[in-house]
């Protein structure tokens, strides 16, 4: 018993924190694009951090609950409505059997998460519920076993809401116009100085061809001093690949495990949720971080969960 | 962090990975060293290492920041110490880990027309008979240099110069699982149906990637592959792509 997809969205899926340990076989990590917002939904619901969430892009799936339960929506504000009544983000929400959740408008951000106070009764593949290719389809039934949704459970969750944390995470992702920080990659020395200057000083935008594999960028064309043909080596989530056309693409959650194009740098982990959530066409800049600081920031963020 | 120890260059990749790199070339001597270092790391079961990814001349360790490093010490110092100790252990044990077991796979391939979509093209471009292409492709043992692009996609090298051929400028929309192709001096096998630009010379009846957790990829980096030619009838009897 469970949740039904009434109408499929553009590219929605079930995601958790993804899988590691199989990249040497070419198996991608997958997982939530914005792990921070997804973790926050689970944290608000006092779920285990590994509980899968529904990742919604826009236009989003229309979802029907087939039993009573408690959910929490985080990440992008797509103006969620439950049976056409507006509902809040970042709060536990009571849903009744047959209630329908729809998303009206991409007001803020690019990816919304629906956390569910439930156990997901589906087998994992290699330690994760995230699958590279499994988009949610109309009529899909997702086997979430809902946690009993009594008033006491709601009261407990509401009493334990950490408003400061919620505001901090939300502001960090959505009200932060600072540059996206990167650490230089192995091909940094292979681009000419002018291209490095442009990489740091010229605004870029995310192009509409974005998907879970990567975000192509629109911006200045960057040139290499050498042919753009490297022996393939491992890439990560957040790798800035320079394509032979001179354009950049940032690799995201469903990235291939190896890449043979110039690796200019990687976005630091703490800035990835903010980058993932940026809307198409919005200008941003890159800046250069340092490793020590990037890790300290990550530890601080990690410690809040 | 970016430093050199013996022939190795060690550098950080982003904020949660470290790379051990050798001279960038597709060569068995480079591959052997990577394979040995990979085995050493695996055998040590180091806390906080999420993935170890070998590919041609690099071995990349993806790590969990909170488990792999201590918050109280300088990050670069810790990574430098880790890599120095690891490589010194590698040097000291090189002789023993050198004797790693070799895995050689004898892989059947049907080179007949229905599967060999680009055989004619290679034959024309390289001025060589189809028979000679098959003979050359099956005449040597290839080393697996990398696995990626798709789960289980196997990159091997090197093919004879006479059958070297560039990728198609425009990839095909779909290449069938099991297709065996050539790209430059590399030969590879498609694990699943997918778009692809390699020049296809045949198809193996083997399923080289199976999502069954007990099976997964048939080959791993450092394995050796020897192809042998089979007819359509034998292909059908061995066919696992059903």
| pLDDT per position as a tens digit, B62-73 | 999 999 999 999
Q: Read out DSSP for B143-161?
A: EEEEE-SSTT-EEEE---G
- The answer to whether residues B227 and B161 belong to one domain is yes
d(CA B57, CA B25): 7
- Rounded Cα–Cα distance for residues A128 and A272 (Å): 20
A186:B11 CB<8 A: yes
- A 10 A CB-CB count for A211 gives 13
Chain B CA closest to residue A237: B14
Domain extent, residue B10, equals 2-97
Residue after which a domain boundary falls, among B41, B64, B97: B97
What distance in Å separates the CA atoms of residue B56 and residue B13, rounded to the nearest whole number?
A: 17
B90 and B204 in a common domain: no
Q: Same domain, yes or no, for B152 and B72?
A: no
How far from the centroid of its chain's Cα atoms is residue A55's Cα?
8
Q: SS3 for A15-29, per residue?
A: ECCCCCCCHHHCCCC
Pair (B27, B76) in one structural domain: yes
- What tens-digit pLDDT sequence spans chain A (305 residues)? 599 999 999 999 999 999 999 999 999 999 999 999 999 999 999 999 899 999 999 999 999 999 999 999 999 999 999 999 999 999 999 999 999 999 999 999 999 999 999 999 999 999 999 987 789 999 999 999 988 777 788 999 999 999 999 999 999 999 999 999 999 999 999 998 899 999 999 999 999 999 999 999 999 999 999 988 899 999 999 999 999 999 999 999 999 999 999 999 999 999 999 999 999 999 999 999 999 999 999 999 888 87
Q: What's the pLDDT at B131?
A: 97
- Does A25 contact chain B (CB < 8 Å)? yes
Residue of chain B minimizing CA distance to A260: B149
A139 HSE (CA, 13 A, CB side): 0
Let me know whether B110 and B220 are in one domain: yes
Residues from chain B that touch A27, judged by Cβ atoms under 8 A, are 151, 216
Domains of chain A plus CATH, in order, are: 3-174 (no CATH), 180-303 (2.40.100.10)
DSSP chain A: --EEEEE--SS-EEE-S---S-GGGT------SSHHHHHHHHHHTT--TT--EEEE-SSPPEEEESS-EEEEEEEEE--EEETTEE--SSS-EEE-TT-EEEE----EEEEEEEEESEEE-S--BTTBS--SS----TT-EE-EEEPP--HHHHHHHHHT--HHHHHHHHHHHHS--SPEEEEE-TTGGGB-HHHHHHHHHS-BEE-TT--SSEEEEES----BSS-S----EE--TTEEEEPTTS-EEEE-TT--SEE-SEEEEEE-GGGHHHHHHPPTT--B-EEE--HHHHHHHHHHHHHT-
Q: Which of B97, B119, B135 is the last residue of a domain?
A: B97
Q: Are residues B25 and B133 in the same domain?
A: no
User: How do residues B131-178 score in pLDDT, each as one tens digit?
Assistant: 999 999 999 999 999 999 899 999 999 999 999 999 998 899 999 999
Partner B, chain A 223-282, Cβ-Cβ below 8 Å: 230-234, 236, 238-239, 256-258, 263, 265-269
| Secondary element (H or E) of residue B196 | strand B194-196
The verdict on B17 and B78 lying in the same domain is yes
| Count of structural domains within chain B | 2
- Minimum distance, in Å, between the CA of residue A21 and any CA atom of chain B: 5
3-state SS class at B29: helix
Considering only CB atoms, B149 lies closest to which of A26, A186, A230, namely A26
Nearest to B216 among A25, A239, A294 (CB): A25
What's the CATH code of the domain at B155?
A: 2.40.100.10
- Are residues B186 and B209 located together in one domain of the fold? yes
For residue B102, the model assigns a pLDDT of 75
Question: What distance in Å separates the CA atoms of residue B165 and residue B173, rounded to the nearest whole number?
Answer: 20
Backbone angles phi, psi at A101, to 5 degrees: -105, 125
pTM of this structure: 0.95
Distance CA A242, CA A248 (A): 5
Q: What ipTM, to 2 d.p.?
A: 0.95
User: Are B125 and B42 part of one and the same domain?
Assistant: no
Residue B101's pLDDT is 67
Residues B114, B140, single domain; the answer is yes
pLDDT of B117 strictly over 60: yes
């Amino acid at each position: 018993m469970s949740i039904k997809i009434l109408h499929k969205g553009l590219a929605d899926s079930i995601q958790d924190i993804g899988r590691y340990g199989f990249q040497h076989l070419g198996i991608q990590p997958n997982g939530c694009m914005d792990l921070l917002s997804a973790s926050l939904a689970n944290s608000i619901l006092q779920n285990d951090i590994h509980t899968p969430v529904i990742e919604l892009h826009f236009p989003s799936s229309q979802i029907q609950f087939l039993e009573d339960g408690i959910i929490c929506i985080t990440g992008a504000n797509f103006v969620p409505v439950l049976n056409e009544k507006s509902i809040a983000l970042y709060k536990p929400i009571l849903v009744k059997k047959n209630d329908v959740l729809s998303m009206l408008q991409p007001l803020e951000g690019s990816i919304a998460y629906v956390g569910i106070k439930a156990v997901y009764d589906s087998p994992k593949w290699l330690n994760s519920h995230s699958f590279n290719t499994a988009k949610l389809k109309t009529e899909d039934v997702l086997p979430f076993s809902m946690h009993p949704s009594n008033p006491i459970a709601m009261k407990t969750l509401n009493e334990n809401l950490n408003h400061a944390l919620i505001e901090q995470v939300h502001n960090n992702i959505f009200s932060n116009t600072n540059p996206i920080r990167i650490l230089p990659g192995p091909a940094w020395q292979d681009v000419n100085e002018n291209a490095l200057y442009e990489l740091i000083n010229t605004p870029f935008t995310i192009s509409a061809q974005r998907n879970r594999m990567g975000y192509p960028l629109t911006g200045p064309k960057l040139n290499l001093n050498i042919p753009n043909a490297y022996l393939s080596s491992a890439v990560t989530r957040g790798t800035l690949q320079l394509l032979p056309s001179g354009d950049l693409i940032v690799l995201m959650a469903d990235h291939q495990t190896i890449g043979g194009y110039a690796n200019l740098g990687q976005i630091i982990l703490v800035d990835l949720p903010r980058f993932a959530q940026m809307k198409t066409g919005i200008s941003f800049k890159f800046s250069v971080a340092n490793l020590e600081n990037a890790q300290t920031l990550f530890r601080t963020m990690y410690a809040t969960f | 962090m970016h430093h050199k120890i013996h022939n190795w260059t060690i550098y950080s990749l982003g904020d949660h990975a470290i790379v051990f790199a050798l001279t960038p070339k597709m060569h068995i001597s480079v591959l052997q060293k990577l394979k040995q270092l990979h085995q050493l790391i695996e055998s040590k079961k180091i806390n906080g290492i999420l993935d170890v990814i070998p590919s041609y001349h690099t071995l990349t360790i993806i790590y969990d920041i909170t488990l792999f490093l201590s918050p109280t010490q300088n990050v670069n110092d810790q990574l430098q110490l880790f890599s120095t100790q690891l490589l010194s252990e590698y040097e000291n044990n090189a002789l023993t880990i050198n004797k790693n077991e070799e895995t050689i796979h004898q892989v059947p391939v049907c080179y007949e027309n229905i599967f060999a979509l680009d055989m004619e093209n290679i034959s024309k471009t390289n001025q060589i008979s189809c028979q000679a292409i098959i003979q050359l492709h099956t005449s040597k043992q290839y080393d697996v240099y990398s696995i990626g692009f798709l789960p289980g996609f196997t990159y091997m090298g090197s093919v004879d110069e006479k059958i070297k051929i560039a990728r198609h400028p425009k990839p095909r929309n779909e290449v069938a699982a099991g297709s065996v192709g050539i790209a430059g001096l590399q030969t590879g096998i498609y694990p699943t149906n997918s778009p692809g630009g390699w020049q296809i010379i045949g198809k193996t009846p083997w399923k080289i990637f199976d999502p069954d957790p007990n099976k997964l990829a048939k080959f791993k980096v450092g394995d050796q592959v020897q192809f042998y030619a089979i007819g359509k009838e034998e292909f059908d009897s061995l066919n696992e792509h059903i």
